[in-house]
Copies of this chain bind each other. A is one copy, B any other.
Amino acid sequence: MKKILFFLLFCAFSGFAQNTDSLQIRKIYDEILTNGECYKTLTYLCKTIGPRLSGSTGAAKAVQYTKKVMEDYGFEKVFLQEVMVPHWVRGAKEEAYIENGKVKTKVPIVALGGSVATPAIGIKAEVIEVKTFEELKALGEAKVKGKIVLFNRPMDPTKINTFEAYAGAVGQRGNGASEAAKYGAVGAIVRSMTTLQDNNPHTGGMRYAPGIPMIPTAAISTNGANLLSKLLKENPKLKFYFKQNCQTLDDAPSHNVVGEIRGTEKPDEIIVVGGHLDSWDLAEGAQDDGSGCVQAIEVLRAMKALGIKPKRTIRAVMYMNEENGLRGGTKYADLAKQNNEKHIAAIESDNGGFTPRGFGMVGTNEQIAKVTVYKNLLAPYGLAEIGRGSGGADIGPLGNLGTLLIGFKPDSQRYFDFHHAQNDKLDAVNERELQLGAASMAALVYLIDKYGL
């Protein structure tokens, strides 16, 4: 049955239309590869504004800046959606060392977003290393109480898609502290989420489970984790010291930023293309997710530059607070529901501004088949992987409204070299790769707009 549906769709969509469309798609790529401005916008976002953690002045400046960029491009409607966001601050730089007998060795750590601080004098305790929560449970209170737990399961390097490796390890970061605290641990140190062996600690969000003591938690660089693990094998009684000064302030007002080109035939059907404007505080958020934001703006810029008048309404959305709360994405979907807006598709770019490989989708078989049919048109641009997959965190809440969720899928090999770490800076992004991603999304928006879903 599915095959028949696909065949019918394929027949319906052929010949003349294919040819017109392939010419238009070629024009979209030409425009963006020749006159693209997304790298320029990203440069400002990274170099003039910098880090944009929710609630920070950087985030507020980024809201005003991207709003102005879209106004200057003459998008028909540019507006903000107010949203209250968590406001966590890191405070003074963290300190940590391994105390092995009389030898103290400093190691690089960063507090995880949402963590509580240590006491002002820090925490020093013995360390117990685990790779899984099952292992932790088996050790139980007898072996864990009063200690710092080192969660040291690496990202699996054999996964070709590094996001699968991330998914297989990130539970330690998100839930490690509460899991450790269940058995009386006093702190939780998590191996950084990267396949590199280096000295960069990678931060990221964590959540405390209700009713369990909130213990401080930090990420340690992979080299630091390896060293600690090695020394622990020689001396299980060694101690680990860390001090961090972070705190969660009151929720702060912030905004999603939305730019719109109104549809000429079906303005009530909306297609979203977006990324998230907030970043972690350690770097410039160039890959995560300045890239997605500037690509979304570029999609609309290019359509305007090419004189494409969409049938449906196209929106570029810069979501706020993906990293530690998802408040912007939730708010956007709440407002869409409240205003009876019909979002037919939402595309998110939040896997980095690397060379395009395809799109992953979350939706009904029918919705997905209607996009998969464009495979031949997109294949010349390296977009070979089009099918069921994952959408994106910010657009996720729109799924409840029946919107087809589409995740832009770039090459994933380098992403976790920078992700949430101090080296996620402009120079981590290649201009052509960034442009190709924007063009890929613009091509898909063009097709979905033209043929509907």
Chain A residues proximal to chain B, CB less than 8 Å: 29-30, 33-34, 157-158, 160, 162, 195-196, 355, 357, 380-382, 384-385, 411, 413-414, 417, 430-433, 436
Contact = CB atoms under 8 A, between A and B. Distances in A.
Nearest to A435: B157
Contact of A158 (B29, B157, B355): B29
B384 A384 contact: yes
B413 A34 contact: no
Contact of A160 (B157, B357, B381): B381
Given A33-B158, A355-B413, 12 more contacts: A29-B158, A33-B157, A157-B432, A160-B381, A160-B436, A162-B432, A195-B432, A355-B411, A357-B382, A413-B432, A414-B433, A417-B430
A157 B34 CA distance: 6
Q: What 7 A-B pairs have minimum CB-CB distances, sorted nearest first?
A: A384-B384, A30-B158, A33-B157, A413-B432, A33-B158, A355-B411, A413-B433
A246 to B, nearest CB: 32
A436 B413 CA distance: 9
Contacts of A196: 431
A411 B411 contact: yes
Contact of A355 (B195, B355, B380, B436): B355
Nearest to A357: B382
A380 B160 CA distance: 8
Contacts of A195: 432
Contacts of A380: 160
A436 B195 CA distance: 14
A414 B430 contact: yes
13 contacts: A29-B158, A29-B160, A34-B157, A157-B432, A160-B382, A162-B432, A196-B431, A355-B355, A355-B413, A413-B430, A413-B432, A413-B436, A417-B430
A169 to B, nearest CB: 15
A196 B430 CA distance: 10
A414 B30 CA distance: 18
A349 to B, nearest CB: 16
Which one of A34, A411, A436 has the greatest number of beta carbons of chain B within 10 Å?
Answer: A411
A433 to B, nearest CB: 5
A34 B158 contact: yes
Nearest to A381: B160
